[in-house]
Each structure stands twice: as structure tokens, then as C-alpha cells.
Structure 1
Amino acid sequence: MARTHPWKVSEEWWEKVKPLIPAPPFHAKGARSRMPDRQAFAAIIFVLRTGIQWNALPRELGASSTVHDRFQEWERKGFFLRLWQAGLQEYDELEGIEWEWQAVDGAMTKAPFGKDATGANPTDRGKKGTKRSLLTDGAGIPLALIIEGANRHDMKLLCATLDGIVVARPEPTLEQPQHLCLDAGYDYPVNREQVEARKSQPHIRGRGQEKQEKATTPGFRARRWEVERTHSWINRSRRPLVRWEKKEENYLAFLHLACAQLICAKVLVFG
């Protein structure tokens, strides 16, 4: 089997990315020539997928300081979020977002240098960490993602996660209901109220309950694992595995880019 190179930007993907690239800043007195946008984007993808430090970026991909400056310039202009949104919209047109069954779950990561959105990680001897709360559709497509300190309980992040969907959510109806699958960490009256206030139907199950229902209920299908799998998909991009970014917005930009690349792979398959 031929080896894949997930850090490389294909022609097909670049054609989708290019129209979303922000315009360069205006310099009244002129400026030296800029690194081509495609080269800068490819270098950022290389950092995302390999997890390499900025100053260890191979020189043939570009000067690390130049690539890092472009990354921050594009982050300030909302490019990475727009790329994720555009991918979702195209995926919805080609395949269709599965709004009927959604799922939310949190995952924690180390954040040794992080400042904002960090806290004592209860699973890592109280060391500094960040939690990401993720909402996916029925196929595991990421719809919303927020970050907070690792010491924040999942149940306290549910409301912000549900309100963070980056594309328009259709209104649930009797004919087209929307269900939300959650684990036992969200089994609180306030969480049920938050879900029902958004006209979704909460399904809160522990692992033991799911196994029991699978054994006793004909046709039962566990659905919460979709969001757990998406966390694993995001972790294939090695940069988000450990949060090295001091700034919250830079770490979010990498997460948005990881979501965009994940969806782009689906779009290219269905397209």
C-alpha cells in the first residue's frame, strides 16, 4: 500500500482554500515580496500534522518566523474558522449533515505553556491542562468546539458548546427531530433543561447502560462513540495533542484547521 502524506496540500484542496485566503495587508510605501500563500498554508499544515516546533520547520518549507507570522495574521482575520465553516457547508450540500443524532463529549490535553483557558488537570496530577468540548453530527462531523481549563466539568461547558455551532442549525420539528447523546457526566437537571430549551431530546447513558441496552433491546445502536472517534481523528493532527500555544486563540486556530482538514477529506471523497 502506498504511503500517504497527510501534511501535503493537494491541488483539489488548494482550489477550495484559495478563495478564502485573506487579502494581504496594505503597505503605503511598499514592502518586500511576500511568501506565496500556498507555500505558507502548506507549511502551516505541516506543523499541524507533524506537531513540529515552529523553529524546527524545515527551511525548504519556508522561514519559520515568516510562516508563524502568516499563521497569526490569518488567525486574527478568522481564516481558519471560515475554512471549517466552508467545508461544513459544502459537505452539507454533497452528503448532508446528520442533524438527527448529535453527540457531545470533552477531552483533555496537557498545556504546559498555556495561559488562558487552562486549569489543573485532575487526570494528570494537577498539572496545567486544557479541555476541549466537541459537538458532532450523527456521522462524527465536527459542528462546534470550545476550549476551557481542564478543571472545568463537562456539564458546565454544554451550553456554550451547543451554542457554538459554526453553521446554521435547522429548527427541529416533529417530523425531523434532533437527539443529543451524552454520557453520565452530563446527568444533571440543568443539562436536560439546556438541551430541551434548544428543542432537542437528551439521551444520557453511561457505558454500562449502553451495553445493557444493546444486549436487551433489538436494533439498539450506540451513538455516543461517534464524538469519541472524532476526538481521535483530531488527535491524528499531532499539534493539538499537547497545547504548546500560550495564546488561547492560536490553539483554537489549530483545532479549527484540524476540523477543516478532516471535513475536506470527506468532501473530496463525496465530491
Structure 2
Amino acid sequence: MVDHGRVVRRHELTHQERELLAPLIPRAATGRPRVEDRRVINGMVYKIRTGISWRDLPERYGPWQTVYTRFRRYALDGVFTRVLQEAQTRADAAGDIDGPDRLHHRPRPPARRRHRPKRGRHRPDEPDDHALGRSRGGLTTKIHLACDGRGRPLAILLTPGQRHDSICARPLLERIHVPRTGPGRPRCRPDQVITDKAYSSRGLRAYPRKRGIVHTIPEKADQQRHRLNRGRRGGRPPRFDREAYRRRNIVERCFNRLKGFRGIATRYDKTATSYEAAVSLASFQLWARSV
């Protein structure tokens, strides 16, 4: 007899992903028996992969209300953020994080949302604008992403679509937090930062330099002209490693892999908390399948 509950279907967790995820899923000590965690989480992954509505989930995942309620609970409790950190910790312990660490940063093209969120009361940790804002593409959300040298997400930051990229670089760098399996502080400082011209500013160049991080940021054409027009007072041109800059396409490939999740490429979630949880769950899968 074939145990269909153990068959790995398309758009579901693999056995390796389940083993990493199972110890981190909270369990209720009391109450009536609930739907199996494996079925419910597979329903979450299926929803994020396909981009369907919660009501259209196949019956094999149990009641859609149960899947949604548990996903929302995990999102508010930060479960998927901890799951992502656990995958990073295991990779770090195995020496699998590309070393020296190379951080690549750019916002992806905005994820469009079809409807404006309803106004009303919400949790204090939820931003007032739900990370939604007007840009040229309409009502959008930006995902700012830092990844390692193998194109796996290290830190995630959501902002409204109209937010300038350079404002978000420092908060994103401060979100890098890879705990250790043994004694020692978490890894919070990459050895190198590679960005595009949108982050070319004195402030952003000074911040990684202060933390002892090598940065590769190309200079904008207007900044270069302004520096040359000032002559000696313009100072030296910023250091630029052209060979290292060629690796910036790694973050582009990381975004392309995340866009394979239709629930990430187009935002359907009302709140930023739920959308960030979905991005964290998708990022966990990228890590789990590369370890």
C-alpha cells in the first residue's frame, strides 16, 4: 500500500525541508486534535508557489480557514523568520556560506497589489502604510534583498514602492543576523558589499567603511562630473573593483528564483507582515535546497 501522505507532490516541501522545519513549528500543549502540521504547511507553500487564493486551496491540505489562520499566526510570531535563520545557521556551521561573505543589494521590481488595503485598526508592529506606496507602476511594494555569494537571501526588507533605494541600504545591512550553533556572536557583518549606482553617496560609502566592510559601488556620471569640475578640491575618485562588480548579477538571479513563487511576484497579502512571512518562507526553501 502506498502512503499518499508521504508522497512529495509538486509545489510542496521536500523531506529535507520538513526535517529542518519541523522542530521550529510551535505546537499547542492543550486543545482538540488539529490538522497535521505537514499538511497545513504544504498548503501554505502551495499557495505561495501558485498565487491562488486561500479559498481555492485543494482539499488535501485541509480546511482553507485552518491553513490561513495558522499562516497568519506564524507570520505574527515570526516563525518563518526564525526558520530562515536556522537554515542560514546550519549552512554557516557547515562552512557553506560563501566566504568571504559577499552581500549583493538591490530592490526587485515592485510587487504590484491589486487592491488598496482597508483602513482600520491593526497591530502596532504593522506599518501604517502596509509597505504599499504609489510609484510609476501604481500601488506597489519593494523587496530589498541582501544575499550571499551563492544567491541565497541573508536579509529582507519591505518598503513602499516610492521609497528611494539608498535610504534602505543601512537598515537592510543591520538586518543581517546569522546565529552560531556554538559559542560566539552572530555573524552580522559581511566582508564585502556590492551595489549598483543607486547607492552611490558619501553617507553610504562611509557607513560600511566605518564597520570595516569593503564596498564596491560605481560612481554616478553626474557625481563624477561634479568631482572633476572642482579640480583638486573634488578629491580622489572612489575605489571601484570592476572584477568584483561582475558578481552583482548574483542578486538578479536570486530575484528570478523568488519570482518563481507567483505569490511573491504579485503581492496578494493585505498586510506587510504576511507578505514578509511569505518571502521568508520562499527564501527558506532556497536555502534548504542548496545545503
TM-score by length of 1: 0.83
Aligned to 1:18: 22
Contact 2:176 2:189 in 1 (8 A): no
Q: Which moved more, 1:244-253 or 1:195-204?
A: 195-204
Closer, same or farther in 2 for the Cα pair 1:87/1:235, shift >3 Å? same
Matched, 1:161 2:163: no
* Residue 170 of structure 1, CA deviation: 5.9
Q: Tell me the distance in 2 between the aligned counterparts of 1:203 and 1:218.
A: 8
* Residue 220 of structure 1, CA deviation: 6.6
Aligned to 1:118: 132
Contact 1:6 1:49 in 2 (8 A): no
Matched, 1:250 2:282: no
Task: Compare CA radii of gyration and give the structure with the larger one.
Answer: 2
Q: Tell me the distance in 2 between the aligned counterparts of 1:46 and 1:192.
A: 41
* Residue 221 of structure 1, CA deviation: 6.5
Aligned to 1:101: 102
Q: Tell me the distance in 1 between the aligned counterparts of 2:135 and 2:86.
A: 34
Contact 1:80 1:257 in 2 (8 A): yes
Q: Tell me the distance in 1 between the aligned counterparts of 2:284 and 2:189.
A: 24
Closer, same or farther in 2 for the Cα pair 1:199/1:53, shift >3 Å? same
Contact 1:91 1:266 in 2 (8 A): no
Aligned to 1:195: 208
Q: Tell me the distance in 1 between the aligned counterparts of 2:215 and 2:245.
A: 16
Q: Tell me the distance in 2 between the aligned counterparts of 1:162 and 1:218.
A: 22
Aligned to 1:70: 70
Amino acid aligned to 2:200 = D
Aligned to 1:223: 247
Closer, same or farther in 2 for the Cα pair 1:234/1:185, shift >3 Å? same
Q: Secondary structure at the match of 2:246?
A: coil
Q: Tell me the distance in 2 between the aligned counterparts of 1:192 and 1:207.
A: 13
* Residue 25 of structure 1, CA deviation: 6.5
Contact 1:112 1:129 in 2 (8 A): no
Structure 1 residue runs of 5 or longer lacking an equivalent are: 173-177, 209-216
Closer, same or farther in 2 for the Cα pair 1:203/1:64, shift >3 Å? same
Percent identity over the alignment is 27
Q: Secondary structure at the match of 1:205?
A: coil
Structure 2 residue runs of 5 or longer lacking an equivalent are: 1-7, 118-128, 179-185, 222-240
Amino acid aligned to 2:250 = E
* Residue 140 of structure 1, CA deviation: 1.3
Closer, same or farther in 2 for the Cα pair 1:59/1:103, shift >3 Å? same
Aligned to 1:237: 261
Q: Tell me the distance in 1 between the aligned counterparts of 2:21 and 2:203.
A: 40
Closer, same or farther in 2 for the Cα pair 1:234/1:191, shift >3 Å? same
Contact 2:177 2:188 in 1 (8 A): no
What is the number of equivalent residue pairs in this alignment?
A: 244
Q: Tell me the distance in 1 between the aligned counterparts of 2:72 and 2:244.
A: 46
Matched, 1:265 2:279: no
Q: Secondary structure at the match of 1:110?
A: strand
Q: Tell me the distance in 2 between the aligned counterparts of 1:43 and 1:253.
A: 14
Q: Tell me the distance in 1 between the aligned counterparts of 2:259 and 2:253.
A: 10
Alignment RMSD (CA, Å): 2.3
TM-score by length of 2: 0.77
Matched, 1:135 2:130: no
Amino acid aligned to 1:103 = H
